[in-house]
A and B are shown apart, each in its own frame.
Chain A
Amino acid sequence: MQSHILSIILFTPLVGALVLLFVPKENKGAIRWIANIFSLGGFLISLPLVPMFWAQRFEVTPTHFKFLEGTPNNWIPSIGAGYNLGIDGISFLLIMLTTLLGWISILSSWTAIEIRVKEYYVWFLVLQTGMLGVFMALDFFLFFVFWEAMLVPMYLLIGIWGGPRKLYAAIKFFLYTLLGSVLMLLGILFLYFHHHTVTGVFTFSIPELYKTAPLIPFHTAIWLFVAFFIGFAIKVPMFPFHTWLPDAHVEAPTAGSVILAGVLLKMGTYGFVRFSLPFFPAVVSHPRVQSWMIGLSLVGIIYGALVSLMQKDMKKLVAYSSVSHLGFCTLGIFTLNSMGLTGSVLQQINHGISTGALFLIVGILYERRHTREIAEYGGISNVMPLYATITMIMFLSSMGLPLLNGFVGEFTILQGAFTANWKWAAWAAPGVVLAAAYLLWLYQRVFFGTVTNPKNEKLHDLTPREILTFVPLIIMALWIGVYPKPFFQILEQPVNQIVQTIHDNSNANAPVNAQVAPAPAPQALAVVGPKVVGTNVAGPKASN
């Protein structure tokens, strides 16, 4: 099983979708049961991966990927595309997050979706396979297939089962992200042809491209970086490419929002970590580029929080809080040190857990009252005490209270940012204050006080099914908060590998005037960051 576990995890949802095609669409009960069985099955089937991966978390493999499946170029040998899967600690965590959130979102849709039930679950399961494929693919061709395959189901989920402005939101989402993917495709093709120029072999294999991409001269690499950057920055979304997000979130059905926030946004940050950093180490470590990336992240943190503060729609508030939280993730990535990267990946997981839960929370009220206006509520903790308690826990997790998950990620990122340049940490710190402000204010307006709106008097508290959707999230939040050591251990090797790549290549192709002093003078460190320490520029640098 070990050798095929990735494929099994990957295709379980798709098999579910195929099975659903043969169920008559009038039989909603059966459709729901089958979809839930396959999504829960998809989660359960991914659980054996945990002990397997844990056992080899420190093992060093030649490609740094584990559980390899297929070989490069085995799919379409003529163009060098392969069905080639493999994971490292980073993708392992994101895969586990995806299978967990996939199950939870499908479970949460039980009563929320009443029209076109069959199509809904079919598309959801297809989406699930697409997302898993993105995290598993070790071949750029395969990666791009999954990347685009993910787009269509999401477009339909928003466009068919969405709110009043669903078409606007769906088209905006689709076109905006498509624009990014097209640019990324151009970048992929350049890498592909460049690899051929250097080695004489056509291949989309990512581990192979890792070897040649850093050799691209700086003035070309910077444009490639920009192409990838736009693709990923839209997905994250980074300021100022974020405005599709609030619309998509507000209009999407609850489960769509959960997946969108929990997993789809991670595609962008995952792309940065998996591709931008190891492919263009000289570009990302160029002080100018780095400070732009950090600058956008910091603006995103504060700006997202400020906009969040003033929202009147709960879902929009949570959506903008995502912009702020993802700002922390990209801040961590572009510190380019182990702490920042580790924190960033952890924070991606944490954001999936906390913000996924926040969207579930909003969805529960929406399902009962069909409005997300904050002003419509007040005093909800009188009628739904259990719901109020769970909400409080998830709000605290989202604002980074220690012993819950958010703190561990945020703090690790801050530590990474501080050691790279203390000013970055200082600018990020107000984001933590504002997070408390917008979440607690929201809590006060929705839950505290007395019930003033008569429509809220009869709301019933959580059903057992709804409680079940929160239990795994709360357990994960507590686990990461209280005992994050396993997560740090899982991330240690891949993160250090990426940092090493950047470290080894940072000086190689940088232009002469780049202010990278090899001597680790503390003053220079404060400005440029830790990656300039490297003087051992070993490796095939001089080929260009």
Chain B
Amino acid sequence: MFFLNHIWLIPLFPAFGAAMMFFFGRRLQKATVNAVCVGAVVFAFLFACFTVVEYTHFAHGTGHPFEKIVYTWLGSGDAHLSFLKKDGTTAQFNADAGFLLDPLSSIWLLFVTGVGMLIHIYSVGYMAHEGGYYRFFGYMNLFMFSMLTLILANNYMLLFVGWEGVGLCSYLLIGFYFHRKSASDAANKAFIVNRIGDAGFILGALTLSWYLGSFRFTDINTLARSGHFAIGDPVLTAAALLLFVGACGKSAQLPLYVWLPDAMEGPTPVSALIHAATMVTAGVYMVARSNAVFVLAPTAMKTVAIIGALTAVFAASIGLVQNDIKRVLAYSTVSQLGYMFLALGVGAFAAGVFHVFTHAFFKALLFLGSGSVIHAMSGEQDMRNMGNLRGRIPTTFKTMFIATLAIAGIPPLAGFFSKDEILWQAWRSADGGFPYLWLIGFGTALMTAFYMARLIFLTFYGQPRMSHEVEHHIHESPKSMTGPLVVLAICSVCAGWLGVPASLGGTNAFGKFLEPVFAREVAASVAPAEPQEPAGEEHRGLEWTLMLLSVGAAVVGGGWAYGHYANAGKDYPEPIAVKAPPLYTVLYNKWFVDEAYDYAFTGRRKIGKIRLGAMGAGEASSWFDAKIIDGAVNDVGWVTRAVATLSTWWDKWIIDGVGVNGPAILARMISYPARLFEWGLVQWYALVMVAGLLGFGVYYVWK
């Protein structure tokens, strides 16, 4: 039990690496950085392997989850800090730093550490000539820490720590080349769009705790499966939908997918690790983790399936015409994530998880391969300037070719099994109705084969379209880069064999392993029919037909691309541009969604003179604040001053003037004549006396 009891060490290995880079990175040699950061992930991988092995012994195949609580994170650790549940009883506020291992997290744990390790090794070669080497590896290790916390958390809040942590690392790594405005713009976009999803996630988790009284997965699953809650319970439906908003942000589903294509501004290993193989599957993980709640909310399930299917076909349609090699892969990722949600939405959780698993290998391989191509092409990413590289970088070509076959669904490679499982379940979910979800999935498969083959032909076949300067420098990547490619190629071939369906004579070991996580033993009576139950013999023919159809779609799509691009020279024609120019414009401009968002939500673009969205609201609020609220405050000040001025005038001229000085002036005026007699000038008295005497004299003389 050593490894299980110390499961919390797994995220701490890379956390240690990140801390080392934070404090000492600047002073370290590249070799030391490699030893610390790559070493940390290798340790995490080995530790994870031992832990999972130990877990399978511990669980004896029952899938009983193992939980290890390290300490109380949120909450006071006793029962005194509590909140009121919906039903009026109180529940303890508590979220532990606690770790959970069950088949679901085992799978994620293994492929995240495994693929993460390969990509770290690859990065040693890829980033060798870049500045900020230690910064890159510090962020990558921080990412591994967050992702492992996300996977191993035993409650929604600790999961959210990882959830936000991976978002932060994504932000930091997209903006790694922060000198470029486009990179920092993309980083901001990623973080803020994710935050919208996060708000949904938080509200969803709060709804669950308000209703069920806990953040802990095991508590919530037990309660949800207890049979106390009816199918379609409105509160659980709301919670499930809110959680799905979070998943839409993190896993780039409609309408929050817009950040992922831009995220390709980051270094290519980042695109492979974070924006293809691991982080973007966090939404799938979270929904699968909450499956007990989702199955009680058919509306939410249907929403998940429809959003997933629409995202799959929507993103694939954009991928058909993009010229940037990484952008094609980015839209492909969005599209494949749509497949995964389609699977979850039709209740085929194991199939969705299986596709996450296989996709991690071939998509990481495709991204790393594209990185190798870009490396060889001296930084060129535009496929219009590539061509005929297959002889020049043979290992990259071969491995990418394998990955393309895998993603297109050619048997017996990994993608075939997982994708066909999803399509089959989508068909079955129609339950006699029109299988429109299957049809969308089928169409997407066709497009996938086309755009992937287009990518391969434009890059590796046809005529060289690059400049001589670039052509001169083309070289195969170093061993540290091609090594991981080869390992991933082997996985892309073999990973699917873990889940060979019964109809092809397999045992679907992968699905069996996961069964306990998605089991509904108690709720079986209320839950809808389990779509994953072994298909009867009568379905086998149908299942084979669908398989043939989707393989056929892959071949047709690939052949189509072969016809158009296999001999592409300079100024090769785009078939869609030739046949339907308006459609091409729309697809090329990504359905103008970014522009629409800028008009409506961010407010970065004005409609005429009017600005809408957050910036519009911000401008309006600023105006209101300055003119109305502060205006009112200043007006109060102005009125006070005006009244004061008026009072001063009143005081000076009326009160003091008329009231106080007035009587004085009056008295002075009245007293003036009397004053004349008391003037105090002796000469004046003498004059008056003389005048008086004269007066008397004149009077008597006259008389």
Contact = CB atoms under 8 A, between A and B. Distances in A.
Interface in B170-209: 171, 175, 178-179, 181, 184-185, 187-188, 191-192, 195-196, 198-199, 202-203, 206-207, 209
B522 interface: no
Contacts of A416: 83
B630 A414 contact: no
B212 to A, nearest CB: 13
B71 A310 contact: no
Interface in A399-452: 401-403, 407-408, 411-412, 414-416, 418-419, 422, 425-426, 429-430, 432-434, 436-437, 440-441, 444, 447-450
B192 A403 contact: no
Given A306-B617, A485-B75, A488-B76, A448 B175 contact: yes
A440 B195 CA distance: 12
Interface stretch (B325-333, B472-480, B619-627): B619-627
A492 B73 contact: no
Contacts of A444: 184-185, 187-188
A395 to B, nearest CB: 11
Given A402-B165, A488-B76, A243 B175 contact: no
B615 A338 contact: no
B638 to A, nearest CB: 12
Interface string B199-233: 10011001101100000000000000000000000
B410 to A, nearest CB: 42
Contacts of B160: 402
A30 to B, nearest CB: 36
B81 A338 contact: yes
B203 A437 contact: no
Nearest to B88: A520
B202 A414 contact: yes
Given A307-B625, A310-B622, A485 B71 contact: yes
Contact of A419 (B84, B196, B621): B84
B20 to A, nearest CB: 15
B164 interface: yes
Contact of B618 (A309, A433, A448): A309
Contacts of B523: none
A27 B618 CA distance: 48
A310 B629 contact: no
Contacts of A488: 74-77, 81
A183 interface: no
B72 interface: yes
Contacts of A411: 74, 157, 202
Nearest to A407: B164
B161 interface: yes
A337 B161 contact: no
B161 A379 contact: no
A251 to B, nearest CB: 14
Given A307-B625, A402-B165, A412-B74, A244 B82 contact: no
B195 A432 contact: yes
A526 B87 CA distance: 10
A419 B625 contact: no
A414 B206 contact: yes
A408 B637 CA distance: 41
B77 A489 contact: yes
Contacts of B78: 489, 492
Contacts of A372: none
B633 A448 contact: no
B164 A402 contact: yes
B80 A492 contact: yes
Contacts of B165: 401-403
A533 interface: yes
Interface string B593-607: 000000000000000
B195 A433 contact: yes
A448 B178 contact: yes
A120 interface: no
**Interface range, B side:** 35 or more
B179 A401 contact: no
B115 interface: no
A483 interface: yes
A176 B629 CA distance: 13
A425 B614 CA distance: 20
Given A415-B209, A530-B84, A310 B615 contact: yes
Interface string B67-102: 000011111111011111111100001000000000
Contact of B196 (A240, A303, A412, A433): A433
Given A307-B622, A309-B615, A440-B192, A243 B77 contact: no
Nearest to A399: B195
B168 interface: yes
Contact of A484 (B74, B175, B191, B614): B74
A522 B83 CA distance: 14
B156 to A, nearest CB: 11
B637 to A, nearest CB: 8
B633 to A, nearest CB: 5
Contacts of A447: 178
A522 B84 CA distance: 10
B178 A484 contact: no
Given A311-B622, A485-B72, A425 B178 contact: no
A306 B621 CA distance: 7
A379 B615 contact: no
B135 to A, nearest CB: 9
Given A444-B188, A448-B178, A307 B77 contact: no
Contact of A396 (B86, B161, B168): B168
A496 interface: yes
A337 B80 contact: no
Nearest to B235: A422
B614 A309 contact: yes
Contact of A401 (B93, B168, B175, B209): B168
Contact of B88 (A303, A307, A418, A525): A525
A295 to B, nearest CB: 16
A449 B195 contact: no
Nearest to A340: B83
A337 B83 contact: yes
B81 A339 contact: yes
A432 B622 contact: no
A381 interface: yes
A522 B175 contact: no
A436 B195 contact: yes
Interface string A113-143: 0000000000000000000000000000000
Given A306-B617, A415-B209, A402 B82 contact: no
Nearest to A393: B22
Contacts of A541: none
Contacts of B86: 522, 525-526
Contacts of A172: 633, 637
Given A339-B81, A433-B192, A418 B206 contact: yes
Nearest to B215: A415
A338 B202 contact: no
Interface in A501-544: 520-522, 525-526, 530, 533
Name the 7 nearest CB pairs between A and B, nearest first.
Answer: A488-B76, A310-B618, A309-B618, A243-B630, A448-B184, A429-B199, A520-B88
23 contacts: A175-B637, A240-B629, A306-B617, A306-B621, A308-B618, A311-B622, A338-B81, A381-B178, A402-B157, A403-B161, A419-B85, A432-B199, A433-B192, A433-B196, A436-B195, A437-B614, A440-B187, A485-B77, A492-B76, A492-B78, A492-B80, A522-B88, A530-B84
Interface of A: 172, 175-176, 240, 242-244, 303, 306-311, 337-339, 342, 379, 381-382, 389, 396, 401-403, 407-408, 411-412, 414-416, 418-419, 422, 425-426, 429-430, 432-434, 436-437, 440-441, 444, 447-450, 482-485, 488-489, 491-493, 496, 520-522, 525-526, 530, 533
Given A306-B617, A411-B157, 19 more contacts: A175-B637, A303-B621, A306-B618, A337-B83, A338-B82, A403-B165, A414-B206, A415-B206, A422-B207, A433-B199, A436-B192, A437-B195, A449-B179, A449-B181, A449-B184, A485-B72, A488-B77, A489-B78, A492-B76
